[in-house]
Every structure is written in C-alpha cells, then in structure tokens.
Amino acid sequence: MKLDNLKIGLGITGSFCNFKEIKSVIEDLKQENVEKIIPIISNSTKNFDTRFYKAKDFVNMLEESTESKVIDTIVKAEPVGPKNLVDVILICPCTGNTLAKLAHGITDTPVLMAVKSHIRNNKPVVIGVSSNDGLGKSLQNIAILMETKNIFFVPFRQDDFISKPKSLVLDYSYIIDTLKDAMEFKQIQPVLSRV
C-alpha cells in the first residue's frame, strides 16, 4: 500500500516535548506524495506556551509546513467525517489523557471530535503514543484501543526505563509503515519497538 494521494489528518495532543519531531513527520509524509495533510490540534496544543514551543509559533509552523489551516475547535472538527475530509487520522503524539478519553468515548477536544467523526466512515486511526504513565494507568487504555476496530498503533518503546520506568513513546521511524498497514486494516508488527 502506498500513501500517494491520501489525505491525512494529523492530530497533535499536548506531549510538548515531542513537538520537535512534528516537522520531520510532516516532511516524511510529503515524501510519500500524500495529497494533503490537515493538522488537528488539541486545546492544550493551541493555548499553552511551554519551554518547548510558543503555541502561536507552533501553529504557524504547522500551517506553513502543511499548507493547510489548523483545525482547532470542536466545531471545525465535526465535519471531518460527514465531509469525508481525510482517509486516515494519525494522532502523533497522543497523550495518556487523549488515550483515556478515546478509550471511553469522551469527545471534548478537536482531536477527539475529529476521530469520532472520522471513524463513523469505517476508516483507520493511527495512534503514536507518548505517555509518562504508558505502563501505568494508561496501559489499560492502550489495551482497550488495541482491541477497538480501525485503531492501530505506531510501535512504541520505553524511552527512559531508568528515570521514567512507566513512560512510553512511539518510534517515529515506523510512522510511514504503520500508516501503510493501517490503510489495509492491519496492525504493524511488532508493536513493541526494539530500538
């Protein structure tokens, strides 16, 4: 499966330390000749200035890199499904908070609304987990989502097993291959990255 001519919704939630990777993710998607990348951001991403990024600068970077306006409200996210705006949604990074809400049907951010709206069309959602409690309370939500139709995970690993033994982060090198498999409704294997 190729990604040529696909429209990809890029959901970004508040794992701020991972924001430095997003521009590379966008560039990698462009190298695959996707038709369009539509950034969809959480409320935290839109509103919080952090030591990693100023919110306004990050949004500007997203819009310049993708050449698309950011979806940053629930109202703007709702038409994703009815208007068939994307072929797949990649949530990257996906926080433990977003995992929990997704696993339990809570729709209170633009990213969650876009996913809810999108999955009604029987299309795939790819999750790139980034959570300091991925092997703690968030693990049950990962398990729920792994068993949920049309939800697929980018392989992940412990990012600092000594200082943060419960922390998980996606392996960015697998994003493209995960998307390709997800478009065929397959979960890439192994899910636990060896890197």
Structural domain including 34 reads 7-182
**178 within domain boundaries:** yes
**pLDDT below 50 — which residues of the chain?**
none
CATH number of the CATH domain containing 102:
3.40.50.1950
**79 within domain boundaries:** yes
pLDDT of residue 195: 61
pLDDT of residue 161: 84
Number of structural domains in the chain:
1
**143 within domain boundaries:** yes
**62 within domain boundaries:** yes
Q: Taking the model in full, what pTM does it have?
A: 0.94
pLDDT tens string 29-86 = 999 999 999 999 999 888 888 888 898 999 999 999 999 999 999 999 999 999 999 9
- DSSP states of 46-74 as a string? HH---SS--HHHHHHHHHHHHTS--B-SH
**192 within domain boundaries:** no
